[in-house]
Copies of this chain bind each other. A is one copy, B any other.
């Protein structure tokens, strides 16, 4: 369904998709480093002219070295700093390792399970994207090459924080946007657990986000949508559904704050941006915020 189009003459990678009709973004290629079809998807890594190395899955940009921190820091630190002491963390998808890198910054973490269906993504990122995969060999990290939904059902009441770092709901990640998946997330969380799931853009996919949050609100005690800016995602913005199993008065208020050592490693997240990330433009607030 997704497809990319390379203008060979000018050597640009152009991202087009049925998920964002009528618009496209392009990055200039300096050198293609890897291009192969795995059992699950097309995997492309190229050196771009101005965004560092770029990972593309099924024609859609997943990370660029220049702006990946905006996504990784927010999908991780929003739920992690909302939990009083996350010791066991599950990451679904995210085979590039960027999410793991950020989770490992929390000293309280004892074990991280990475559940990635496509081992070729992990191998490719270890070779070409060390900035992202740097934490994958940490002794606290255990990699399971298998279906995330199945893993969840087999591990009830096991995790403090679960992060779903999925690609778009076309192809292998489709199942990660369905109700049974969110029920499995609920089951796999400990009683005070929190999950944070990639939940698309308010500019492009309101029709997807609204029912997704409604589903979550039927399952979890509290649900909010937060967002980050990121230039190389379509529309420059992507959001997260943050769901808490226990009733929280205000999930927008972090329970913990980064110490100076952790803060020095960050480029996007800080306690002030944690709160601001939940403040939606009026059109999105009207559509997405729980009126109850």
Contacts and interface: CB of A to CB of B under 8 A. Distances in A.
Interface of A: 12, 14, 21-28, 48-51, 67, 70, 203-204, 229-231, 233-237, 263, 266-270, 272-273, 275-276, 279-283, 285
B24 A12 contact: yes
A273 B268 contact: no
A237 B285 CA distance: 19
A283 to B, nearest CB: 4
A270 B281 CA distance: 8
Contacts of A27: 22-23
B272 A279 contact: yes
Contact of A268 (B263, B272, B276, B281): B281
Contacts of A282: 263, 266-270, 273
Nearest to A258: B282
Contacts of A233: 236
A238 B283 CA distance: 18
Contacts of A51: 22-23
A25 B22 contact: no
Interface core residue of A233, A269, A276, A283 (most chain B CB under 10 Å):
A276
A72 B114 CA distance: 43
B28 A26 contact: no
Contacts of A67: 203
Contacts of A273: 279-282
Given A70-B281, A203-B229, 8 more contacts: A12-B24, A22-B27, A23-B28, A24-B26, A229-B281, A231-B234, A275-B279, A276-B279
Contacts of A12: 24
A236 B238 CA distance: 11
A270 to B, nearest CB: 5
A207 to B, nearest CB: 14
A203 B237 CA distance: 12
Contact of A231 (B14, B21, B235, B270): B235
Nearest to A67: B203
B26 A23 contact: yes
A22 B11 CA distance: 10
Contacts of A263: 282
Nearest to A234: B231
B25 A24 contact: yes
Contacts of A267: 281-283
A50 B235 CA distance: 13
Contacts of A25: 23-26
Contacts of A275: 276, 279
Nearest to A285: B270
A93 to B, nearest CB: 23
6 contacts: A21-B49, A21-B50, A231-B237, A235-B236, A273-B280, A276-B276
